[in-house]
């Protein structure tokens, strides 16, 4: 969450999860346009999340901005990837 191609603004959350694993069984990070990885926190239930101020994403105008979520097991092996594009409401 959010969905591919969504237009977004203000402070919102990006959420993700790996089906069948508890939150302590993996880590998740996000990157934007190839930036450094930013850790996502446990959000309770089954989700990892990050609160993001989307209005600060100005380097590419309205976008698109490529967001990549990466999940890794405790040993550091990648167990899931998701890439999607977002647009920022100007």
Joined together, the tokens standing for residue 15 give 């959420």
How many whole angstroms separate alpha carbon 42 and alpha carbon 58?
A: 28
Whole-angstrom CA distances from 51 to 43, 54, 75 are 11, 9, 26
Report which secondary-structure segment, H or E, holds 80: strand 78-88
Give me the mean pLDDT over the 70-83 stretch. Answer: 96
CB 1 within 8 A of CB 16: yes
Q: What is the pLDDT of residue 52?
A: 96
> How much is the pTM?
0.91
Residue 10: partners with Cβ closer than 8 Å, 6 or more residues away? 53, 54, 55
Report whether pLDDT(10) > 80. yes
């Amino acid at each position: 969450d959010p969905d591919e191609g969504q237009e977004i603004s203000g402070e919102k959350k990006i959420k993700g999860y790996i089906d069948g694993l508890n939150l302590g069984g993996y880590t998740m990070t996000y990157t934007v346009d190839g930036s450094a990885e930013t850790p996502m926190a446990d959000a309770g239930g089954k989700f990892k999340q990050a609160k993001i101020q989307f209005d600060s994403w100005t380097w590419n105008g309205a976008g698109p901005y490529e967001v990549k979520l990466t999940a890794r097991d405790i040993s550091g092996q990648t167990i899931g990837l998701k890439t999607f594009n977002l647009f920022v409401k100007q």
